[in-house]
Structure 1
Amino acid sequence: MAQLLKPTILRYIITVILVTAMVLLARLVITWAAEIFLHPIPIAGGWIKSLELIELSVIVLFALLGFGLGAAAMHLPAKTSLGWKALALVVIFPLVFFSSYWLRYQLWLNQVTAQSDLPRQQVVETANVALERESGSGGFWGYYRTTVRMPLLPATGEELQRMTEDQRWFRAELTRFSGIEPGVFSMIFDGAGWGIRAFYLLLAVGTSLIYFLKGVAWADTQHLRRLTKIKPQVSP
């Protein structure tokens, strides 16, 4: 029995890898195209980036991911529990979802490096300092948290160094014209940013779960078809 299961489990692993690679590649290509061609468009590109409209692509991508990983269960034993079948989705989902933000982070560093004529390592260090001042974290997580309230980050080393001061000035000007305390604007920007991120995250989670269950149902159907083909052969 163990020898019979090994090829099927291997096929399951290969299927999971192929599905993940296909969806991950598509997500990275879509993100790259948006950052290079769509977001630089004057005015409209800024609004599209601020609302992260490109993330609507998660509907299609995570439907494919969910169904593909669910359908891959056809290579597992029929008695495998739903929890074990869902393990691949639980592990792979964060990788695919956050990959777009990771690519944006790398493209942003590339942009700052190109426009500041500084070594990349120095740009990374300067960026980490600026991100830590703004969000309390550096690196990718600092970028992720900072872009919640600041979707459009500085594009040069000089702008990067005064990023926090520029934000304070902007909020001070809003306070001067509206009479509302700066802390209120910070709460509004943070709430709106995290709300947008939460919406796309929940959309991706819901889509992947629904289509994962559809994929599992399809895999179960394939198991039943195999049984109906085998039974007549073993009956007298």
Structure 2
Amino acid sequence: MLGNDTSDPDSEGSKVYSEPQNLPTAVASLLGHVQNRANFHPTSLSSEQLAVYFQDYIKEVDNTPFFALYKNEKTKSKYESKNYNVLIDQIVSLYDGISKSDENAMKESIANMAKSVFGKESKEDWKNIFSQSTIDMTNPLQPRIFIYYTTLHMKYEKGKSEINLQEYEVNRTEYVILPDLIRAYADKLANLDKKSVDDWMGDATSPERKGAKLCFDPLATSLV
């Protein structure tokens, strides 16, 4: 999370959504609900499952009336090199609000993939990794959500015409949080499971590892 979590941990029910200082917990609870609807739990999904459920997650966020899509952009890069540190630096620079532990896990995952590919006579590998969701409260008047997703591709062929290929695609989606609308529907949103920012972050970020559904209608009038 970027900024300060001003939420009162003792707030319950509609107060989580009606009191302005509790906005971080309100947003975390909404995002937790959205993840459950999409069956999107990055910490427990394989990279293959992550690729499938990520699209469902984005659709659910798009259908949530309390977040408005602001920007959706992709950054691609492709080059010939065995120096994976360049790729690491480029990807990390595109992620806003990533924690140091997640950054280190990302670097380790990329390095392990590169060592696996470039340490063989010939190998090619693709990975869908690094789902990262961030709540940005640095400007309380303009709270945002950032969602990132990265795809990696590496290829190596040894020989006279040696091939050293690295490429990535980072998808960055930004949403504006609508606090007034959240407060307006506080009584209905009180039915959702409360989730602190820390609890939500534990299930919302997924560097590569080995290893009650409610419906939002357009006016949020049937949250039961």
Structure holding more helix per residue? 1
Please report the TM-score for the alignment, with normalisation by the length of structure 2: 0.31
Computing the radius of gyration over CA atoms, which structure comes out larger, 1 or 2?
A: 1
Please report the TM-score for the alignment, with normalisation by the length of structure 1: 0.30
Structure holding more strand per residue? 2
